[in-house]
Structures are given as C-alpha cells and as structure tokens.
Amino acid sequence: MRASKYAAAILTATLCPVLMFGGTVSGKVTYTGTPVKPKPIDMSKEPSCAKQHNPPVTTETVVTGQGNTLENVVVYISAGADDANAPTQTVSFEQKGCQYLPHVLAMHTNQDLKVLNDDQTSHNIHPLAKVNREWNKSQPPGAPPIDAKFDQPEFISVKCNIHPWMHGWFAVLKTNHYSISKENGAFSLPDLKPGKYTITAWHEDYGTQTQEVTITGNETKSVDFAFKAKAY
Amino acid sequence: MNTLKAAQFRVVFVHVVLAALCTVRVVAQDAPDVGPHPHQPLKPMESHIGHVTGHAKDAKTDYRRYCAGCHGDQGDGNGENAVWLDPKPRDFTIATFKCRSTPTGTLPTDQDLFNTIGRGVTNSNMPIWNTFTDHQRANLVAYIKTFSPRWEKEKAGDPINIPAEPPVTIESISHGKALFTKLECWKCHGPEGKGDGPSAATLTDSKDQPIRPYNFASGGDDARFKCGSTNQDVYRIFMTGVDGTPMPSFADTIQPNDAWDLVHFLRTLQVHRHSKENDVLKAAGGTIPPYVDKAAPSIQPASGAAGGGN
C-alpha cells in the first residue's frame, strides 16, 4: 500500500510540471444577430417545484450575457490531443426544482455519471441517445442516485417526460480537454502539449464550429467563436 | 374512326405500360441477394428461439411481402404506408425495441422479437401475425437483426427475473394504489388510468412524435397491453420500461412485492374487464381502502387520503 502511495506521489511530481507548464487555449464565445428571448417556464403543474422559483426560471436553450456573450457552449479538443482514459472522478447531474443542474454536462466516454433527484417529485431520466444506447429510468423522491456511463462520443439530449420543460444535454467526449462557456462567454483549455489542435465549439441550438490552433510551448493562444443567432 | 383508333391506342398503351411495370417488378424481385443495405450482401444473421433456428436469408421474401410496406426495405420504418400510420412503424436501424424481457437500454432477446411478431402491438397498426409458422417468424427475427450493427457488437440483456405472483388481497390493491400515487404513474396515465394525466398531452416518443399513455379503462375482457396481456406481462413492462417511449423502467426503484401490488391495482383500473382483482375489490365493498404503512414508524397517524403513500 505504502509503496504504491509513494509511486503515485512520484508519478504526480513528475507529471505535474508537464501539465502545469503546457500551453493554453482560451477565449470567448459570442453571438451575432438577435437570439430568441428566454421564455418563463410554467411549472404550475408541479407546485413543489414552482414554489422554488420566484420569479419563474426561463428556458435555457440560448443563455446569453452582457456584450453578446453565449453561455453553455462546449469547447473541446476534437483532434490533436492524445487519447486519454476517463478520469476516475464521477460527474453529477442533478435534478433540482424541476431543472437540470448543470444544463449541459460534459464527460469523458466511460466516465462514471451519477444522476441525483433532490426534488419531492418523481422524475424520469431519459437520455435520447442515438449512438449510445437509449434508456429511460424512473427516479422517485429519495431514490438512490442512478449510475450510468456512455461508451461512445455523442451529444445526448436528456429529457424528463413527466415534466416536459426539463431538458438538458450530456456532452460525451473522447477527451478531457473541454470547457463550458460561462455567462461571460469565457472558456479555457489548459495543459496542452506543443502540437496542432482542432478546437470545436458546440451549442445545442446554433450547431458546431471548429478552428485550428498550434501550440509551440508554454503560451496562451486566444481563440474566439462567434455563432450566428437563430431568429426562432 | 378517329375515336376508335384513339381508344385502341389507349388500350395498347396501357398494355405496354403494364408490361413495362411488370418487367420492372419481376426484375426487382429477381435481383440477386439485395440485402437491407443496397450493394451489400445480406448479413448471415441467425436467431434462436427454443429449438428453432432462424436464418435471415430465408426471410427475404416474407419481409418484402409482409413487412416492408410499413417498416421499409431498409428497415428504417419508412415504408410506403408509414405516412398513414400512427404510431409510426418501428425503425429497426436504431435497434430500440418497446417489448423486451431485458433491462432498459439493452437489446431484446430473439424470443422477445418472436413474441412481438406473433402478438402484434395493440393500439397500433402492427397486426397479430399468427399466420406464420414458427420457422418463418424465427427467420424474420434474424432478418430484423441485419438492419443494425448493434446486433453484431452487443448481446441481448439478461431477462429480468419475475418472482411468483403473491395472492391478490384488498391490501395488495390498496398498497398498489399508494404506489401508483407515489411513483406518479398518474402524471401520465391519469388518476383513473384513462391516459389523461397532466403530462399526457405533452408526451412524445424518441422520434419526437406525439404518443398517448395507455388507457387502462378502455377495452373489456379482451383488453391487451402493448407487450402482452397477463399479469406477468404488466409486471415486466414497468420493470423493463418501454424503450423509445416516455415510459421509464422502475427496476431500480421498486421491490418485487411492491411491483406485484401495483399490478393488482392496475387491474382494477380495467373497470370493464373481469379479473380476480376486480372480484376481490367487489368483495371488499367496491372501494379501495386507504393504505396504512405498517412497516413505517408511526410518527404521525396515517392520513385518511387514499393513496397517500409517504
């Protein structure tokens, strides 16, 4: 046991400099044009959830910030990075107040996923996978977390059929180099070894864009994405 | 004379066109080994149902004659009749099946597909194909499996275990009703099981087509569910879920005895159907008493509300 701990410590010590002093790709995601305004969600059919939101929450298909920034865009390395194994930590997808937290959850293929229900109502978790297997499980209040994983890269739409306004996404990726844009549109992909990379940005309504970037050393390259907003 | 000539010409013309069409038809039928995927040979898929082995290659004629009209030559559910049908014919290319004995997200067994062909799918246009021999059906099962590569990569799931059914009592019906409330079956199926719950109108299947929850109150003694008609079939449906539809699996959240209680209650929603459950309910005076949870610590007295659960 002790030996393996030391081995792990030495391994971390030798790897860390490589990871810490790699290049970084960072930037901002914005939109052009006029996006659809978020609509208030009517949860009156589920009073236990409705009372948690005052004022009512709004739809999350397109979430924007000041300065035409775009939130919830998955920016990831789609080519160039080494194939990495799934991290050992588990990612969580929470159902709270009849909403998905987070709205977009990114994970590695075969990474452990836990789906939790914090609500006083039953939900059914229905990932409408097309490449992976589609499944659909009920999760009543107080039920244990549902464990799952997906073995193929795919952007999977997730629904609760009982509460039709509940809609989220699983971004299952072949890489650990991903970042989801914040309200200010910012994203950052650190720890990149020198090399040529393809950076892909995916938005659930506006589609995907890609850009090529070359990292030569310990540098930060700025890459911005601008999506054309859909009028409806 | 002119009109006669014109008429003769028309007759000849029609004959020529018909002959041409027939030729095309014959050629199409004689086309060598055109599998589900054009220009690719048919996969040598097999199915095993009991002692019967089905071969995809032997189902080609039957599939084209009886299945392709709705399910399509490519098995994608886009046959020429599909536009007229609701619900839409199954798309075999995604290999997601409603009626399985296996857990949600897994492939069905050959037996499951065999059963579906023989049983038909109630409330849909899929008829009961009881005219086929067992061999024909087994061959068709093998043929269906040629449409998706999943069948080469994945094994069917392990069938869920269905323990012996406990006796029907008014208590089991009462507990089943409490579960119907607690698990929120009524949100879609409605408080009386008529398929009119608050979420019913919003439901769509996995292809974004509107879909109706099952109405338990419809039908009499011949009432059938989508995936069978026995109590075991009902038990199986909510343990496996109905993949491709909003109906989830309850396998992770419900204990076998509870599941049987729910089955007993669901039978009482079939108000026009004679059943042992309805007999027990009638003998108990016709109303379902509120469920009292004997196992739970009595912190507060059980509320009088029927189906209060916890």
- Report CA-CA distances (Å) from A61 to A40, A49, A72, A169, B219: 12, 20, 9, 10, 42
Average pLDDT over residues B43-69: 96
**Residue B125 neighbours by CB under 8 Å, 6+ apart:** B70, B85, B89
Q: Tell whether A139 and A195 lie within a shared domain.
A: no
Is residue A77 located within the same domain as residue A1?
A: yes
Closest CA to B187 of B199, B177, B205: B199
**B218-267 tens-digit pLDDT:** 988 989 999 999 999 999 999 999 999 999 999 999 999 999 999 999 99
pLDDT digits (tens, 9 = 90+) for B258-278: 999 999 999 999 999 999 999
User: Is residue A2 predicted with pLDDT exceeding 70?
Assistant: no
Same domain, A77 and A91: no
Share of chain A above pLDDT 90, in %: 87
B253 with A164: Cβ contact below 8 A: no
Distance CA A38, CA B10 (A): 63
Task: Output the pLDDT for position B184.
Answer: 92
Q: Are B146 and B43 in contact (CB under 8 A)?
A: yes
Hey, is the C-beta of A161 within 8 angstroms of any chain B C-beta? yes
Residues A114, A91 share a domain: yes
Query: C-alpha B224: how far from its chain's center?
Result: 11
- A54 and A92 share a domain? no
Q: Residue range B12-19: average pLDDT? A: 49
pLDDT at B307: 39
Q: What pLDDT shows up at residue B22?
A: 41
Lowest pLDDT segment from A103-112, B10-19, B230-239, B279-288: B10-19
Report chain B residues whose CB lies below 8 A from the CB of A150: none
Do A134 and B96 lie within an 8 Å CB cutoff? yes
B188 and A162 within 8 Å at the Cβ level: the answer is yes
- Provide the pLDDT confidence category of residue A84 given band limits of 50, 70 and 90: confident
pLDDT band at A22 (very low <50, low <70, confident <90, very high): confident
The reported pLDDT for the residue numbered B309 is 38
Residues A7 and A43 in one domain: yes
Q: Stretch A31-51: mean pLDDT, rounded?
A: 94
Q: In whole numbers, what is the pLDDT of chain A averaged over residues?
A: 91
Question: How many CB atoms within 10 Å of residue A145?
Answer: 16
What does the pLDDT read at residue B246? 97
Amino acid identity of residue A198, one-letter, is T
Q: Where are the beta strands (DSSP E) in B237-300?
A: none
Q: How far is CA A81 from the centre of its chain?
A: 19
Of A94, A100, A92, A72, nearest to A183 by C-alpha is A72
Helices marked H in B65-192? 68-71, 110-119, 134-144, 150-153, 170-182, 186-189
- Residues of B within 8 A of A125 (CB-CB) are 248
Q: Which of A158, A174, A190 is the last residue before a domain boundary? A: A174
DSSP B283-298: HTTSSPPPP--SSS--
Say how far apart CA B194 and CA A170 lie, in whole Å: 34
Say if the Cβ atoms of B184 and A140 lie within 8 Å: yes
Cβ distance B98 to B205 under 8 Å?
Answer: no
Residue A231, SS3 per DSSP: coil
Instruction: Provide the shortest C-alpha distance from residue A81 to chain B (in Å).
Output: 27
What is the residue type of B266? L
* A169 and A192 together in one domain: no
At B34, the pLDDT band (50, 70, 90 cuts) reads very low
Comparing alpha-carbon positions, the chain B residue that sits nearest to A149 is B105
Residue where a domain terminates, one of A159, A174, A189: A174
Query: Are residues A77 and A11 part of one domain?
Result: yes
Burial class (CB in 10 A: 0-12, 13-18, 19+), B206: buried
pLDDT of residue B33: 45
d(CA B258, CA B149): 38
What is the model's pLDDT at position A3? 53
Instruction: Please answer yes or no on whether A162 and B182 come within 8 Å at the CB atom.
Output: no
**Overall number of domains in chain A:** 2
pLDDT of residue B299: 47
| Chain B residues 211-240 within an 8 A CB cutoff of chain A | none
pLDDT of the residue at A44: 93
**Amino acid B310: pLDDT:** 37
DSSP for B172-200? HHHHHHHHHHHTTTHHHH-TTSSS--TTG
A47 in contact with chain B, both atoms CB, cutoff 8 A? no
| Lookup: tokens for B280 | 């027990």
CB contact under 8 A, A161 and B246: yes
Closest residue to B243, CB basis, from A136, A139, A146: A136
CATH number of A128's domain: 2.60.40.420
CATH of the domain at A24: 2.60.40.1120
Write out the two tokens for B108.
């069905």
Ordered domains of chain B (ranges, CATH):
46-153 (1.10.760.10), 170-283 (1.10.760.10)
In this predicted model, what pLDDT tens digit does every residue of A129-147 receive, in sequence order?
Answer: 999 999 999 999 999 999 9
| Interface membership of B30 toward A (CB under 8 Å) | no
Mean local confidence (pLDDT), A35-49: 94
Euclidean distance between CA atoms A175 and A153, whole angstroms = 9
Are residues A72 and A180 in contact, defined by beta-carbon separation less than 8 angstroms? yes
Is residue B302 predicted with pLDDT exceeding 60? no
Q: Which domain holds residue A102?
A: 85-174
pLDDT at B6: 56
How many angstroms separate the CA atoms of A58 and B263, rounded?
A: 39
At A82, the pLDDT band (50, 70, 90 cuts) reads: confident
> Quick one: A96 and A169 in the same domain?
yes
Over range A183-188, report the average pLDDT.
Answer: 97
Tokens representing residue A132 in the block: 């992976």
Segment A207-232, tens digit of pLDDT: 999 999 999 999 999 999 999 999 87
pLDDT value, residue A190: 95
Burial of A93 (0-12, 13-18, 19+ CB in 10 A): buried
Contact B244 A45 (CB under 8 A): no
Residues A185 and A215 in one domain: yes
Same domain? For A1 and A76 the reply is yes
Confidence tier at A5 by pLDDT (50, 70, 90)? low
Report ipTM for this prediction.
Answer: 0.81
Task: Indicate the residue among A128, A157, A174 that finishes a domain.
Answer: A174
Is the pLDDT reported for residue B213 higher than 90? yes
| C-alpha–C-alpha distance, residues B289 and B308, integer Å | 11
Report B:89-148 residues touching A (Cβ under 8 A).
Answer: 94, 96, 104-106
